[in-house]
Structure 1
Amino acid sequence: MPDLIFHHYHNSPFSEKIRTIFGYKKLPWKSVLIPAIMPKPNLTALTGGYRKTPVLQIGADIYCDTALIANVLERIAPTPGLYPPEIAGMARTLAQWADSTLFWTVIPYIFSQPAAIQSILGGATPEQMKAFAADRAGFRGNAPRMSAGEATGSLLEYLRRLDGMLADGKQYLLGAQPCIADFSVYHCLWFVQKAKEVASIIDRAPHVQAWLGRMAAIGHHSHDAMPGEQALEIARSSSPAAIDAPFVDTFGIALGEQVTIAPTDYGLDPVEGELVMAAENELAVRRTDPQAGTVVVHFPRIGFQLKKI
């Protein structure tokens, strides 16, 4: 099997979600570190403009959004599973809530505190902090905005609810083993823990605190560093995998049409290409780049919009 090439940066919470899934499934991976802010020339050569972190590369196939990346890793290594059949619908729904509502509660909670920002950015200079703020201002798109007070009150309530789910000796949110919901909730609260100045809020949820320790103990499994230029060369010298998925037309757009695909919440940069896949839960376009060659860029259906050019 080709290498699992993971484009990420250390303090990215969504990247921590997938790094921990690598650990859970014992999947070795290659680590390509990318900048936290634009420009990201090597990454955008692969994605065609999509700028959210992380991105998974397998040869000339580029997978965007952690919901889709988790599905891909499940296909590659079905055991241990992220979606036990008896709770799959609930697990996916809870994961989607965490990746959206919980995440956009955690962000204003942390970033309303200047000292916490310094922890997250690793002692950045004033110029670096200014550049980060400018980058994220344009990145937010349609994401909700909450005041510090709203975020704090909401996070406390969510912690109470999660703590109740883990009461009575329960090891994980929906059962005896972790599922996709655990990894999605985990990355949000891992980010709170990274901001030491505001992390004490988790002390109010002792069951959550113990669960965070169990999730952290999973680790990231074995991984080696890979330069971004090498990842581009692998894409150039590879061919996209054959697509074998039923066509599900909900847009009135045929395969082979030129389209754009873009997120609907934040990081709204569209990716343009030839539509080569419209499956039940996945969309993909083929595009050619001078550096990356011909690649197929994949997206989940939920959270993305498809438009004909």
Structure 2
Amino acid sequence: MLPILYHYDASPFAELVRAAFGVKGIAWGSVMVPNILPKPDQTRLTGSYARTPMVQVGADIYCDTGAILPALEALGGRSLYPAPLGPLHRMIASWANGPQFLAHVGAAMGAMPADAMGEGFIKDRQARFGMDLGQLGKSAPHLTGQAMVASAWLSDTLADGRAFIGGDAPGAGDLALYSNLWFVAAVPFAADTAAAMLARPHVADWYARLAGFGHGDRQELTADAALAHASAAPLPVSGGVDAPFAAGMMVGVAQEGNRDAPSVGRLLRCDAGGIVIARDVDGAGTVHVHFPRLGQVITPLPSREREGPAA
């Protein structure tokens, strides 16, 4: 079934997924969403999850790259977790998309004038994530230094002649590191910083090899056409529900560091492999919304509580 990416062009995490499509060499559907709220085409499926990107595969909705990449892995083709690193790619990606992502935000945006971001974007990020432009500017030298460490470590890793961090094949860890550097390189005000990162031995060649995979076969879709794909039955749920939660209970799932409302649904899975909730969507039926376990805040809700309106 065609995976459908909800994204906007400038999103670094969306670029990670687009690059993953390229590595796997698969076709995918593209639904463009705004870079600020509201995002009704996306949240009618997720409930309230409005971060970018989100991937839909039929009636299964995957939020966060931590859930998206394993879903793409299940589609077959070139592995995103190749040997010899295998699952270690997940740990590297978690570091790159966690503290290192925040460092790269500072490296990319710390010197950007406020008027270059747009008033709507600034208000959105302040309200949802508490972004403080003044503090970001003050922290930019420190954060840039932290991001430069990642480039130095990457350079050291590639020094023995390997093409990618695990050897001859690219994986999820490469994609996470790549998307961070792509973000810095995409901001004109950070051109000198991006050039310094790419100037580290072996880094520019590694970056070019990943970029060379492209984005796969992109097919533009309308949001209504994508919604029609959700009328299929969701996939069977694997895994279990760890204590103190119970299968079937109503829960809200929110993200650490995010002030958006939680996505509400019936809990089907909650273990180290991820979180799955079931939601009823007008015009589609029941969908399963998937999250990674890391970075999610789960709140039990009264069983009578119904899902709120989509954001």
Pair in the same fold by TM > 0.5: yes
Asked whether the 8 Å contact 1:17–1:184 carries over to 2, the reply is yes
Q: Counterparts in 2 of 1:192-207, with a 5 A limit?
A: 192-198=184-190, 199-207=194-202
**Would you say 1:221 and 2:221 are equivalent positions?**
no
Asked whether the 8 Å contact 1:51–1:267 carries over to 2, the reply is no
Asked whether the 8 Å contact 2:251–2:265 carries over to 1, the reply is yes
Structure 1 length-normalised TM: 0.88
For residues 49-84 of structure 1, the C-alpha deviation after alignment (integer angstroms, 9 at most, x for no partner) is: 00111111111111111111100111111x421223
The correspondence for 2:141, drawn from 134, 143, 149, is 149
For residues 79-103 of structure 1, the C-alpha deviation after alignment (integer angstroms, 9 at most, x for no partner) is: 4212235322432211110001111
Residue 169 of structure 1 deviates from its aligned partner by: 2.0
Asked whether the 8 Å contact 1:142–1:264 carries over to 2, the reply is no
Aligned residues between the structures: 294
Measured in 1, the distance between the counterparts of 2:43 and 2:283 equals 10
Residue 196 of structure 1 deviates from its aligned partner by: 3.0
The correspondence for 1:163, drawn from 143, 155, 158, is 155
Corresponding position of 2:232: 238
**Would you say 1:109 and 2:110 are equivalent positions?**
no
Corresponding position of 2:80: 82
Residue 242 of structure 1 deviates from its aligned partner by: 2.3
Matched position secondary structure for 2:166: coil
When residues 116 and 181 of structure 1 are mapped into structure 2, their CA distance, relative to the original with a 3 A threshold, is farther
Asked whether the 8 Å contact 1:98–1:184 carries over to 2, the reply is yes
Matched position secondary structure for 2:189: coil
For residues 75-132 of structure 1, the C-alpha deviation after alignment (integer angstroms, 9 at most, x for no partner) is: 111x4212235322432211110001111001122212226984xx6xxxxxxx0110
When residues 106 and 267 of structure 1 are mapped into structure 2, their CA distance, relative to the original with a 3 A threshold, is farther
Residue 280 of structure 1 deviates from its aligned partner by: 3.5
**Would you say 1:249 and 2:248 are equivalent positions?**
no
Measured in 2, the distance between the counterparts of 1:130 and 1:142 equals 13
Measured in 2, the distance between the counterparts of 1:96 and 1:171 equals 21
Asked whether the 8 Å contact 1:6–1:32 carries over to 2, the reply is yes
The correspondence for 1:133, drawn from 113, 117, 122, is 122
Matched position secondary structure for 1:10: coil
For residues 161-190 of structure 1, the C-alpha deviation after alignment (integer angstroms, 9 at most, x for no partner) is: 211111132211121211110011000001
Measured in 2, the distance between the counterparts of 1:85 and 1:212 equals 20
Letter of the structure 2 residue corresponding to residue 110 of structure 1: A
For residues 23-49 of structure 1, the C-alpha deviation after alignment (integer angstroms, 9 at most, x for no partner) is: 111111011111111110111101100
**Would you say 1:302 and 2:294 are equivalent positions?**
yes
Corresponding position of 2:57: 58
Corresponding position of 2:309: none
Structure 1's consecutive aligned runs of 4 or more residues displaced over 6 angstroms after TM superposition are none
Measured in 2, the distance between the counterparts of 1:172 and 1:32 equals 30
Asked whether the 8 Å contact 1:110–1:117 carries over to 2, the reply is no
Structure 2 length-normalised TM: 0.88
Letter of the structure 2 residue corresponding to residue 161 of structure 1: W
Kindly, what percent of the aligned residue pairs are identical?
A: 35
When residues 285 and 203 of structure 1 are mapped into structure 2, their CA distance, relative to the original with a 3 A threshold, is closer
Measured in 2, the distance between the counterparts of 1:116 and 1:158 equals 27
Corresponding position of 1:98: 96
Letter of the structure 1 residue corresponding to residue 11 of structure 2: S
Matched position secondary structure for 1:5: strand
What root-mean-square deviation, in Å, do the aligned CA atoms of Structure 1 and Structure 2 show?
2.1
- Segments of 5+ residues of structure 2 without an aligned counterpart are 302-311
Asked whether the 8 Å contact 2:66–2:291 carries over to 1, the reply is no
Corresponding position of 2:253: 261
Corresponding position of 1:43: 42
Corresponding position of 1:19: 18
Letter of the structure 1 residue corresponding to residue 78 of structure 2: P
